[in-house]
Structure 1
């Protein structure tokens, strides 16, 4: 059985929710499809994560986000977006994955893991947290290796290598060390990442200087084995005991899904999807992008706070096309 809607939104993150609110204001028949939990990416963030942004910059549709802290944490954000979605009775289908989006003349056929939809417009707001950037080294598929970090307790009293020098890597290294883990950081560059939160950066630098956390700069992982790890450093290759590898080397959008949907990507390393920055419409008429997925591999370009406006831009463009048709 095929379900029919005016707008189908892929992704129930903050920007997908913002798009749904814009549809609801206009009394459009819409649906949001999410393959995981509500705000699935935020749900999979580390349990103790604190946002860089203040709460008012994470608000959508001018709905107040009240936080007990100067900068809200993961649990407060989950509570906020959950309340926004439930209080507004948004039409969201969870644990349903969109498989294909096909343009057929004046409408789209969207196939999910549960059913098929016929819709006028499609908004992709699926983020980029699903596909990790791999190290591409032997042993990366061992159970001891993860590309996601949840909490520190499992790593207590263990030899842990944290790969990377971003916010997530630094947070993981500090938390694991404070919970009794023996932490070694393997950093490809010559210093801690420039985007690391300003109130955290002095902490990690001091822990490295005092020797509490070992850091190898200008280094890369070469091989991972059951009980040890080999890395390449400026002084040559070294091998040392290792129980776990937390490889927080970044994530990327599902480019195959974008391409299969007909969206063109730039030929350079950024792989930027093609869209009109004034309307967020892609090279496929009626197919829009919203949120962080617009940045391709430039995953630090778009955030909740600067992509909230995409929802209104898209809704206003859909409205204008309706007027022209009438």
Structure 2
């Protein structure tokens, strides 16, 4: 029995709550996972898991072993990387989750550079605009935007960007000019269902909130982009979401005299795990990408416990 591999397999089973989910993440068959856990229990002469119709949960001994094994493997990985030196690069698999549009526009085009620096590393990116369970999905680091509500996760703020009311020149030509937030009532708003339909503005210390409406509501940022670019209306979005179009003039900002709350980009790490070198270096890489010149970006770094 490869004790190190057996420990890693057991950790994955506890994290996912099932043999089948662990097998999928490890890229092996479920029988191989079951055999590995059985050999580990035989070696330790103790039951590590309680099997029921509701799934798998660790026994008291299993929970103690899980916590120590997890720390031991993470320490071993860090020690190996330190011994090899920074030039050796990262290896193994890195699982990242990110919003689809943000990753497509800002991260994936830059990945060749990161992968060239780490030829032994495999990166798997889960593209989903929704918040996912990082532990259950085996994610090492997640890129999330906005306010974080997960009180158990550890997050690092890596960028702050601007938000604007955006539309195409063609739409504005037909729909008319906006001079104040009150004019939004006369316009067709494209609503992003993951955000409130009340838009708040600030000017000279005065706050104004406007309830917008429109005939189109979309659940993903890609749909929001497509609708705006089809001249269907205006929307409120991060400047990151329309970066290429803002640069080439296909989309323009309106109501620029009125400011909107900025948006934060976070690197979020799974609760209860030590931050791995792979996750930390990927967060550093994303931060370097977001430091590229952008008129509405203000880059910050801060380690926080999310509240």
Identify the TM-score tier after normalising by the shorter chain.
Answer: under 0.3
TM-score, scaled relative to structure 2 = 0.24
TM-score, scaled relative to structure 1 = 0.23
Q: Which has the larger radius of gyration?
A: 2
> As a proportion of its length, which structure holds more helix?
2
Greater RCO (CA < 8 Å, at least 6 residues apart): 2
